[in-house]
Amino acid sequence: MKKRMLYLCFSVLAANAWAGAGASAQERADVPEKYKWNTADLYPTEEAWKKAANDIAVRIPKLSKLQGKLGKSASGFYNALNNVLELDSDLSRLATYASMRSDEDTRVAATREMEQTATDLAVKYAAAVSFLRPEILSLGEKKVEQFIAKDKRLAPFRPWLDDILRYAPHTLTAQEEKIAAQADMLSDGPSNAYNIFTNADMPYPEAKLSDGKTVRLDASAYTQYRAVNNRADRDLVFKTFWAKYKEFERTLGTTLAAHVKTHMFNREVHKFGSCLEAALFNSNVPTAVYKQLIADVHSNLPTLHRYLKLRQRLMGVDQLRYEDLYAPIVKDVDLKYTPEQGMDLVLKAVAPLGPQYVADLKSGFDNRWVDFIPTTGKKSGAYSTGAYGVHPYQLQNFTGIYDEVSTLAHESGHSMHTFLSDKNQPYVTHDYKIFVAEVASTLNENMLFHLMLNNTSDKATRLYLLGTYLDGLRTTLFRQTLFAEFEWRIHEMAEQGQPLTGEKMTELYLGLLKEYYGDAKGVCKINDLYGIEWAYIPHFYYNFYVYQYATSIMASAQIAADIRAEAAAATPAAKARDAYLRMLSSGSSKYPIDLLKGAGVDMTTSTPFNAAMKEMNAIMDEMEKLLDSK
């Protein structure tokens, strides 16, 4: 049960439904239905949801009757597992609906209460089935294999059972696991407090821009206005926005520190060597992959600095500053799109993935998989989610700039991954690990970039697109690795008994910012105020999530290049495409590292990273030639 996670229109629609950039946040009731996701596909009404919740509440206690009976027979083993997973699926659907409805408007108490109900049921469910893993482990690998051989219905359960058996060194007794599951009731507290505060209660500041317009700088507006052309406006937006976050440094430091302690609890109770090891164990990814990524990035900071100097040249500024990193590189290029235009571009971009992929995604757009419009109280950012047996959904905050078309491509990659896995896998293996999830999303971004580049001859626009792609590498490969290093370091501080306060986090984050962006070398100057940026990143309330953006963009770039090369050949082939689609259709039937190897990428080496650096430098070569030709 997880969200898979991270914009301007100029036609006036009925009732000013899409007002474009700079419009005041509107209320959800004013948005046309076609721009809202259709939650009725999950439950037709809230009453139907409540009925399902009551049914689940009755079914959960009955699961305890299965305890001690798993090993009696192969058929009994199958029936028990099937009952558990049917309830798991129903609960996942329940939680997905509640979470989506709450995210529509975080001010609404009724939907927050629904989300809390789903969370409470999930905790009770986890406690009720806490015996399952220890009991399966007590059966042992030999008996489990005998059951699978006797009852063919158990064959689809094999990958899941193998994964459970892998947890033997980290699994407690049934009673201890039940207590640990009950303690998990507290784990969402820090992130829930953070989300409610930053999305609903935080008193976001206002800023008066050079054109006389006053804007309220919430998260969505900050993302929009940090990219304006006027440098004085950018300075004002940055300083105003981060000064407000700085006011709550202690509070937000407390919530993040409390979140880290939940990981400390899990590490200690389940006998892992570190929080990092505990987090990566779920996907069976070696911690060496995480550490190698950080080492590779530090070794290649000169490549990042080369890009930053190129950005400085393109912007024509004497000194590049942190406030300049989101502004358009070419000032006279202003790409803007309606939601319809964005969807059309994404569908054209993914054409190399085959007509069926395109048709399925178009059907999703037509049937309201996506919630497009930013509204007052709506959760910021974007994500893809879904429930087995229904279809995926996407939350967007689309205001029309090119970055948000890219975000639509990104989340559509997640949605199609969900769609194909659900279509081709039973529930037990339908879900996939984040390590491969971000390959699907970043590959779509890559496809969109190349579509735009191939259809653009204007030098300024080409420079903009090339620069945007490079900045994507900065934000996805380098910036996300900075986040990953920060997350690793705060966990190490906690594990070593060091104090973890908001002030300490700001000090650590500022040091990383200055190192990555070459502040001491004069590459990009960082205002000390911006050390508070860590408090703005919701991904720190996940569990070592962000490094997978970086590893995934390396893998997806390689796969996308292979697919494009096949599609462009005189006699088109589909070997790379089909291998990739098989990966998307595989769910968790194999471990992520093995799934990527099947798609042609070995993530246990630095080869994908080195290839990404080669591409990055090649793009900078092209941009410099374009600049010299001008």
Answer yes or no: are the C-beta atoms of 106 and 112 closer than 8 Å: yes
The whole-number average pLDDT for the span 330-344 is 87
Catalytic residue among 115, 177, 411, 487: 411
Q: Which domain holds residue 92?
A: 36-186
What percent of the chain stands above pLDDT 90?
78
Is 300 within a domain? no
What's the CA gap between 31 and 28, in Å, rounded?
Answer: 5
The contacts of residue 221 (CB under 8 Å, 6+ apart) are: 204, 215
**Per-residue pLDDT tens over the stretch 219-270:** 889 999 999 999 999 999 999 999 999 999 999 999 999 999 999 999 999 9
Residue 465: pLDDT band (50, 70, 90) is confident
User: In whole numbers, what is the pLDDT of the chain averaged over residues?
Assistant: 91
104: annotated active-site residue: no
Higher-scoring residue by pLDDT: 308, 2: 308
Is 159 within a domain? yes
The contacts of residue 114 (CB under 8 Å, 6+ apart) are: 46, 49, 53, 97, 98, 101, 102
Is 508 within a domain? no
The whole-number average pLDDT for the span 123-135 is 91
Among 479, 492, 494, CA closest to 536: 479
Cα 472 to chain centroid distance, Å, stands at 15
Is 444 within a domain? no
Is 611 within a domain? no
**Per-residue pLDDT tens over the stretch 63-108:** 989 999 999 999 999 999 999 999 999 999 999 999 999 999 999 9
> Which range, 133-142, 576-585, 618-627, has the best average confidence (pLDDT)?
576-585
Count of the separate structural domains present in the chain: 1
Is 582 within a domain? no
Is 509 within a domain? no
The CATH number of residue 112's host domain is 1.20.140.70
Is 326 within a domain? no
The whole-number average pLDDT for the span 390-402 is 95
Answer yes or no: are the C-beta atoms of 169 and 272 closer than 8 Å: no
Handedness of CA 512, 517, 522, 525 (dihedral sign): negative
Q: Residue 159's CB: how many other CB atoms inside 10 A?
A: 17
**Per-residue pLDDT tens over the stretch 519-549:** 999 999 999 999 999 999 999 999 999 999 8
Answer yes or no: are the C-beta atoms of 604 and 591 closer than 8 Å: no
